[in-house]
Amino acid sequence: MPEPILRTNNLTAWYGDFQALFGLDLELSDGEVIAIIGANGAGKSTLLRSIAGLNQSNSNQIWFRGNDIGALRADQIAQQGIALVPEGRQLFASLSVEENLIIGARSGRPGKWQLSSVYKLFPVLEERRHVPATELSGGQQQMVAIGRALMSNPELILFDEISLGLAPIIIKSIYEALPGIVDQGISAIIVEQDISKALSVSSRFYCLQEGKVALQGESRTAEREDISRAYFGVVQDEACHEGQI
């Protein structure tokens, strides 16, 4: 097995005064798409924030492409090629659509993604390029958020609840764009409430429960029952055990 592109090593995280992650181990190979599922408060978003450097981690807790990025700041991690599409879009309100995209390219990493290719992926954004980003509809804002992350030409992209608060038809069109993104050899971690959606686009999944991995496995062969057990914390040990077979 090749050296994973991302590896967390006994990762812990605090959310204010509360511990949110308890020694999480996770691996991701080059070009792979994995899904993180779990109930509210299971630590999914905290995991992504830790990887992106928004939550403080310690050295040796996160390795990316053979580099220890655990103790790096968020901006340094971004320079290394990890991009986060944050929960709730979080566009820059005083920047136009195009400026939001341009600032995504701030780290200056070379690659395929630039304004023209993002506009090709989401043509509607080109029409509205000079509009203040927060005046767009929710779905279009999500496209800007994804485009903004792509502009840094990341090797690993983290999606946090990209379907949250969007109409089903919009969710569908955004997920249809996903293969076009990860086909380029970008690895991805997808955090999603909608389990079937998450499993359909990923090759493997991790199910978190109270800051620990309760279940992991192949997305294709995942058993619904196991997942709901891991999801809600019923007979946790058993669920973990079965999942690792």
Partner 1 sequence: MNDFKTNYVVTRSSRASTVAMVSGIAVLAVLIAAPWWAGRADLRLMAELFLYLSLASLWNLMAGYAGLVSVGQQAYVGFGGYLLFALTMFAGIHPVAALGIVAVLGAIVSIPVAALVFRLRGAYFAIGTWVVAEVFRLSFAQVSVLGGGSGTSLPTKVVKSMASGRQAREWLSYWLALALVIIVIACVFLFLRSRKGLALSAIRDNELAAGSLGINIWWTKFTVYVVTASLTTVVGALIFLQKLRISPDAAFSVNDWTAFVIFIVVIGGIGSLEGPIIGTLVFFALRETLADLGTAYLIALGLVAIVVMLKAPQGLWGIIRSRWDIQFFPLGYRVKGSSLNPSTTGRSKMGRSTLGSTDMGSTEMGASEMGRLEDSSNKKPTENSD
Partner 2 sequence: MNWINALVQGVLLGGLYALFAAGLSLIFGVMRLVNIAHGDLIVLAAYMGLSTTIMLGIHPLLACVVVIPLMALFGYVLQRGILNQTLGDDILPPLLVTFGLSVIIQNALLEAYSADPQKMNVGILETASLSVGGLSIGVLPLLTFIVAVFVIGGLHWMFYHTGLGRAFRAVSDNQEIAQLMGLNKRHVFGLAMALSLAVTAIAGLLLGVRTNFDPSIGGARLIFGFEAVIIGGLGNLWGTLVGGIVLGVAQTIGAQINPGWQLLAGHLTFLLVLAVRPRGLFPRMTG
Interface residues with partner 1 (CB under 8 A) are: 16-19
What is the Cα–Cα distance from 167 to 12, expressed in whole angstroms?
34
Binding at 17: pick from partner 1, partner 2, none (beta carbon under 5-8 Å per type): partner 1
Binding at 182: pick from partner 1, partner 2, none (beta carbon under 5-8 Å per type): none
Q: Are 204 and 219 in contact (CB under 8 A)?
A: yes
Query: Is the alpha carbon torsion for 169, 170, 176, 182 positive or negative?
Result: negative
Residues 126-155 that bind partner 2 (CB under 8 A): 148, 152
Residue 27's DSSP bridge partners are 7
Q: Are 5 and 29 in contact (CB under 8 A)?
A: yes
104 binds partner 2 (CB under 8 A): yes
191 binds partner 2 (CB under 8 A): no
242 binds partner 2 (CB under 8 A): no
Binding at 9: pick from partner 2, partner 1, none (beta carbon under 5-8 Å per type): none
What is the Cα–Cα distance from 129 to 51, expressed in whole angstroms?
30
Q: Please, which residue, 16 or 168, has the CB nearer to partner 1?
A: 16
Binding mask 79-98 for partner 2 (x = CB under 8 A): x---xx-x---x-xxxx---
Structure tokens at 59: 């050295």
